[in-house]
Amino acid sequence: MKFGVVVFPGSNCDRDMQDSLQNDLGKEVIMLWHKDKDLSMFTTEDCIILPGGFSYGDYLRCGAIARFSPMMQSVIEFANKGGKVLGVCNGFQILCESGLLPGVLLQNANQQFICKNVFIKNGDGSALKIPIAHGEGRFHADEATLDALEANGQVIFRYCDENGKIDAAYNPNGAIRNIAGIRNAGNNVFGMMPHPERATTPSLMNMDGKKVFEILGLN
């Protein structure tokens, strides 16, 4: 599997993602400039990643301007053909703005930027310690959309404690139903607020990010 990492003006986690994929996971990575359009070097077995940061300075809603970049038009087409796409933090916001994922990311409930380690889990799996760093990470959707996500198994991660207990007390941003990440119905587009690329090396004393990529089938 080959990875493409899109670089927007304001991205600040693109090189973190590149380093994690290349040096920790041993993957081939191609950096993709937001003004370009060419994705011909990728097949639907590969993955395009929208990294964290503050694309276009977050001057409108987070991700709202990046959604219209030339590269994003190609990413949308790539996803609609079945290609894998992962959006992390600001990338998750862009996926929601582009319509590739439902819902929206709102300002954190405490109205403050949060940067710390949290715990998330996938289904009945073990708790994973993954860093977060966002000011607008509170996932929200209407009840019908939420019920559909639940029924289809599209909620991929929820905030929990270190033992895997899901409770509002362990929800850092007020996300509805403790949702930290979702996927689309086709199981090829994934969005999450926590940063798995910041937890893939012993030098950071955390390898749980590798398990995130494994859970998503991006390994």
Secondary-structure class of domain 2-215 per CATH: alpha beta
> Can you give the pLDDT at residue 33?
96
Q: Which of 13, 62, 97, 195 is catalytic?
A: 195
Would the pLDDT of 167 be above 80? yes
Global pTM reads 0.96
> Which amino acid is residue 138, in one-letter code?
R
Is 96 known to be catalytic?
no
Contact between 136 and 108 (Cβ < 8 Å) = yes
Q: Is 146 left (phi over 0), alpha (psi -120 to 50) or beta?
A: alpha
Mean per-residue pLDDT over the chain, rounded: 95
Q: What angle do CA 147, 149, 151 make, to 5 degrees?
A: 65
7: pLDDT confidence band, cut at 50, 70 and 90?
very high
> Can you give the pLDDT at residue 59?
67
Would the pLDDT of 62 be above 80? no
> Can you give the pLDDT at residue 68?
84
Q: Which of 47, 62, 134, 197 is catalytic?
A: 197
- Domain segments of the chain: what residues? 2-215
Contact residues for 151 (Cβ-Cβ < 8 A; gap 6+): none
Is 97 known to be catalytic?
no
55: pLDDT confidence band, cut at 50, 70 and 90?
confident
The tens digit of pLDDT for each residue in 177-204 reads 999 999 999 999 999 999 999 999 999 9
Query: Which whole number is the average pLDDT over 99-120?
Result: 97
Q: Does the CA dihedral 7-3-131-114 come out positive or negative? A: positive
* Residues recorded for the chain: 219
Of residues 93 and 67, the one with the higher pLDDT is: 93
> Can you give the pLDDT at residue 65?
79
The tens digit of pLDDT for each residue in 205-219 reads 999 999 999 999 998
Contact between 140 and 104 (Cβ < 8 Å) = yes
Is 197 known to be catalytic?
yes
The tens digit of pLDDT for each residue in 67-92 reads 889 999 999 999 999 999 999 999 99
- CA torsion angle for 195, 89, 108, 210 (degrees, to 10)? -20
Q: Which of 13, 47, 89, 96 is catalytic?
A: 89
Structure letter (DSSP) for residue 206 = B
Of residues 219 and 103, the one with the higher pLDDT is: 103
